Amino acid sequence: MSTLTYQQALDYLYGFVDYSVERSYRYSPDVFDLGRVQKLLSDLGSPQDSWPSFHIAGTKGKGSTSSFIASALRAAGYRTGLYTSPHLLQFNERIQIDGQPISEAELTDLVERVQPAVAATAGLTMYEVVTAIAFLHFARGGVNCAVVEVGLGGRLDATNVLLPLVSVITSLSYDHTHLLGERLSDIAREKSGIIKPGVPVVLAPQQQEAEHVVERIAKERGSDVILVGRDWLFAPVSHDLSGQSLQIWSAWEQPMMDKFVETGGDEEWAPPRYEIPLLGHHQVVNAAVAYAALKVAADRGLTIDEASIRKGFQQTVWPARFQILSHSPVVVVDSAHNRDSALKLRLALDDYFPRQRVTMIFGASADKDLPGMFEELLPRVSRLIVTQAAHPRAAEPADLALLAHRHGARVEIVVPVEEALRHALRTQRPEEVILAAGSLFVAGEVLRAWSLVQPSLPASQVEARA
């Protein structure tokens, strides 16, 4: 039995350098040294070598794609590990087996288990220690396969010690530019650092600049590139507030798809159709990327059938991604935190709530592209409430308000996040959408506050809960 409490275990982990809360540092080998992680894992018995893996990098969509893959693997009967970051509500969400977060007791026990090895390796960061704990938990828990999301970048990320079945690079856009580079080609180069010699890489549809970089690096390393939109194709079929469906087919099936389209579906062959609960066209893309990754893994020896993929996709859970908390009143929470994801959020609003007024509760990290997010979202917003999450990198509400004023927006400042949500609900107009966005930290605080706010709503406002 562990001699530590759960809080003491967390305090130990948070005692290491945590670059997720730092405002300024270098993304370079002298700061992020994979040799440290390799030594630590070696001292712990190299747990990452005991299970096959999917390794997922990208600017946006990597968490959703990871969740689609993990859900399909569970449906196929695999005991599945999932490692993501940061967490939304509780720290132990980062490390899951079969959809269940690591227990407080197990995390505390593993913290004690790794302490001697950690003490023998100088300079470790919090993320490196947590990554080792996740890998050890998966080995201890007897996982058959693990899905591992990159934390930052790719080339120097602690997870890049893996030799996966397949590497995956999701949508690339501008984020962490002060670390990864100002050009999309620089960002693509860092993300492509996860490509291992001879290991195929599945690539989401990209801007040409990024695609060329990934293709070149993969060629240098003798890795096949499976490009979604070229080698695997997809199309949305239907959508509503309960979910959406898509069709996926391979490039070699395109002649059959042409006949299917020309005859209005009056053919024996039809492209398989998949239902997903996550909303927004970008989730259709993420599902197609996940599908391609699963098919590549199947070609490399993983056993998974269409029925398992279909069931897994349908059961995928990934909160705070255009999540409808309530239909009456309409409350949506999203984790968009760069310009590209803000654009996708605006398109989703137009798609699901056309012509409806939007009140946006907005808080963001100070190091994000705040002008870019406002340029995408404010034209769609009729009322803006700026707030601040309890996080060291959170932007000051007064700074957000000043920036919003430059866009001609009327702004209210309401802190903390819970009170901002209560204020939005108290002053909500008929048929108005309340949207919370700007950062994962704000999204998490809204989700936590929602359970407290719901009982205080008038009876007329608690119908048709999502």
Which position has the token pair 């300079």? 123
Residue 11 has what pLDDT?
95
Token readout for 400 is 């957000």
How many CA atoms does the CB half-sphere of 446 hold within 13 Å?
34
How many CA atoms does the CB half-sphere of 244 hold within 13 Å?
24
Residue 181 has what pLDDT?
65
For the chain, domain boundaries: 6-232+274-314, 323-451
- Residue 90: which residues within 8 A CB-CB, separation 6 or more? 101
Which position has the token pair 């709503």? 457
Order of strands, sheet of 145-149, starting from the edge strand that comes earlier in the sequence: 100-101, 95-97, 80-83, 145-149, 53-57, 166-169, 201-203, 225-227
Distance, CA of 236 to CA of 21 (rounded, Å): 38
Q: At residue 360, what is the residue type?
A: M
User: Beta strands of 217-300 (E only): which ranges?
Assistant: 225-227, 232-240, 243-250, 273-276
Residue 177 has what pLDDT?
55
Token readout for 146 is 């693990």
Residue 23 has what pLDDT?
47
Distance, CA of 178 to CA of 279 (rounded, Å): 31
Rounded CA Rg of the chain: 22
Residue 436 has what pLDDT?
98
Q: At residue 4, what is the residue type?
A: L
Class of domain 6-232+274-314: alpha beta
Distance, CA of 54 to CA of 165 (rounded, Å): 6
106 in Cβ contact with 137 (< 8 Å): yes
Task: Give me the tens of pLDDT residue by residue for the chain, a chain 466 residues long.
Answer: 678 999 999 999 999 976 555 544 445 555 668 999 999 999 999 999 999 999 999 999 999 999 999 999 999 999 999 999 999 999 999 999 999 999 999 999 999 999 999 999 999 999 999 999 999 999 999 999 999 999 988 998 999 999 999 999 999 987 655 566 678 999 999 999 999 999 999 999 999 999 999 999 999 999 999 999 999 999 999 999 999 999 999 999 999 999 999 888 777 889 999 999 999 999 999 999 999 999 999 999 999 999 999 999 999 999 999 999 999 899 999 999 899 899 999 999 999 999 999 999 999 999 899 999 999 999 999 999 999 999 888 999 999 999 999 988 889 999 999 999 999 999 999 899 999 999 999 999 999 999 888 756 654 444 433 3
Give residue 390's Cα distance to chain centre: 21
Please give the CATH architecture assigned to the domain spanning 323-451.
Alpha-Beta Complex (3.90)
This prediction's pTM: 0.93
13 in Cβ contact with 130 (< 8 Å): yes
